[in-house]
């Protein structure tokens, strides 16, 4: 298995000191920065929008992994791509199935990577027709909306069939990831881990990031 892509979620950073907290994880060996965009409709919470992504892009040295927890993602692909997203992940539940391939192609037309995420109650089989089009599948192991929730082990089992069907796709997991739950996901075949509270609440961020790889 290739190197594990660690993507710290800046949702757990101090937004009044965002540059400091981004540099903290970059210096500690983070591969990507996970940016959680929430619209108050698809999920109850409201977080980061296009202007913040644009500002973060000016200071970030590593790719921006933008997780769109929003309704009507197509409308926001161009603005987030222009703001500097390197990976754009939409939710399966936010798009009519017959429009998904077109949306993936549209994201890729901006020369960025396309990801699709599924919520805990969505079955894994719905992703199968789209795997060959996608760069990444994001398996949610908590209900999207908030950081700091408890990992749902049943959701992690969805990694295995995806990895069996497709050896090349990036399988990312998000929600309640720490050294222990991250290992469960890696053993199922995940190769990208998002972690917010685990990394940002750690006294030793380089060690916390390294612990997600071993």
Give the residue numbers marked as catalytic: 36, 174
Draw the binding track, 41-80, toward ligand DX5 (x: CB under 6 A; -: no contact): --------------------------x-------------
Member of 77, 147, 158, 181 binding ligand DX5 (CB under 6 A): 147
**83, HSE (Cβ side, Cα atoms, 13 Å):** 21
Any contact of residue 135 with Zn ion (CB under 5 A)?
Answer: no
The alpha carbon of 75 is separated from its chain's Cα centroid by a whole number of angstroms, namely: 19
Q: At what angle do helices 74-83 and 50-59 cross, to 10 degrees?
A: 30
**Facing residues of 116 across strands?**
90, 137
- Give 169 or 194: the residue with its C-beta nearer to ligand DX5: 194
Match 């692909």 to its residue by tokens.
77
Any contact of residue 115 with ligand DX5 (CB under 6 A)?
Answer: no
Q: Write b or e for each residue in 154-189: b if 16 or more Cβ atoms lie within 10 A of its Cβ, otherwise e.
A: ebbebbeebbeebeebbbbbbbbbbeebbbbbbebb
Any contact of residue 113 with ligand DX5 (CB under 6 A)?
Answer: no
Segment near Zn ion (CB under 5 A), from 18-26, 34-42, 105-113, 148-156? Answer: 34-42
Gap between the Cα atoms of 110 and 85, Å rounded: 10
Gap between the Cα atoms of 118 and 60, Å rounded: 27
Q: φ, ψ for residue 87 (rounded to 5)?
A: -130, 130
Binding partner of 186, given Zn ion, ligand DX5, none, CB within 5-8 angstroms per partner class: none
Any contact of residue 144 with ligand DX5 (CB under 6 A)?
Answer: yes
Draw the binding track, 51-80, toward Zn ion (x: CB under 5 A; -: no contact): ----------------x-------------
Binding site residues, ligand DX5, CB under 6 A: 9, 11-12, 34, 36, 67, 142, 144-149, 174-177, 194-198
């Amino acid at each position: 298995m290739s190197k594990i892509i660690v993507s710290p979620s800046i949702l757990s950073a101090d937004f009044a000191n965002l540059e400091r907290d981004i540099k903290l994880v970059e210096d500690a060996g983070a591969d990507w920065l996970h940016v959680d965009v929430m619209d108050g409709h698809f999920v109850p919470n409201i977080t980061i929008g296009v202007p913040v992504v644009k500002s973060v892009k000016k200071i970030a040295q590593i790719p921006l992994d933008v997780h769109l927890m929003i309704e009507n993602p197509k409308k926001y692909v161009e603005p987030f791509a222009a703001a500097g997203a390197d990976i754009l992940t939409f939710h399966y539940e936010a798009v009519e199935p017959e429009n998904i391939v077109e949306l993936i192609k549209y994201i890729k037309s901006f020369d960025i990577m396309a990801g699709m995420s599924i919520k805990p109650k969505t079955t894994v089989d719905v992703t199968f027709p789209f795997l060959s089009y996608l760069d990444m599948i994001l398996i949610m192991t908590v209900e999207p909306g908030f950081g700091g929730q408890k990992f749902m082990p049943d959701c992690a089992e969805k990694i295995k069939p995806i990895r069996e069907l497709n050896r090349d796709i990036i399988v990312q997991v998000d929600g309640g990831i720490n050294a222990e739950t991250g290992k469960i996901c890696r053993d199922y075949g995940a190769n990208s881990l998002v972690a917010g509270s685990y990394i940002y609440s750690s006294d030793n961020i380089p060690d916390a990031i390294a612990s997600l790889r071993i």
